[in-house]
């Protein structure tokens, strides 16, 4: 996987708050991809996405107006985009 692809995946998994005071990573995917194959990283990200889905379901059952729902939905979307980016990169590498 190219360095630019890894950086793109990390950008999906890094959140900068609107005022710029806080930056946090959902996952440090750069470190994971250095130590594990892409398939293992994808499996980990899917598991994380599943856990967020469980939290989301619980919050929706308890209080549909809870602002944490927005955060979890955004995290799930970011994980989905990161997974797609890794998959597309591995497919391109296999085709080459």
Distance CA 86, CA 96 (A): 16
The reported pLDDT for the residue numbered 96 is: 77
The reported pLDDT for the residue numbered 18 is: 82
Residues 75-86: tens digit of each pLDDT: 999 999 999 999
The reported pLDDT for the residue numbered 74 is: 96
Residues 41-96: tens digit of each pLDDT: 999 999 999 999 999 999 999 999 999 999 999 999 999 999 999 999 999 989 97
The reported pLDDT for the residue numbered 20 is: 75
Alpha helices in 1-96 (DSSP H): 3-12, 29-35, 38-62, 68-95
pTM above 0.75, yes or no: yes
10 pLDDT band, cuts 50/70/90, is very high
The reported pLDDT for the residue numbered 17 is: 84
């Amino acid at each position: 996987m190219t360095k630019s692809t890894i950086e793109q995946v990390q950008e999906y998994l890094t959140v900068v708050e609107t005022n710029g005071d806080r930056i946090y990573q959902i996952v440090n995917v750069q470190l994971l991809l250095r130590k594990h194959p892409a398939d293992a990283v994808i499996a980990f990200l899917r598991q994380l996405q599943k856990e967020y889905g469980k939290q989301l379901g619980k919050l929706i059952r308890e209080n549909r107006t809870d602002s944490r729902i927005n955060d979890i939905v955004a995290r799930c979307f970011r994980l989905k985009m990161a997974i797609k980016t890794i998959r597309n990169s591995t497919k391109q590498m296999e085709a080459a």
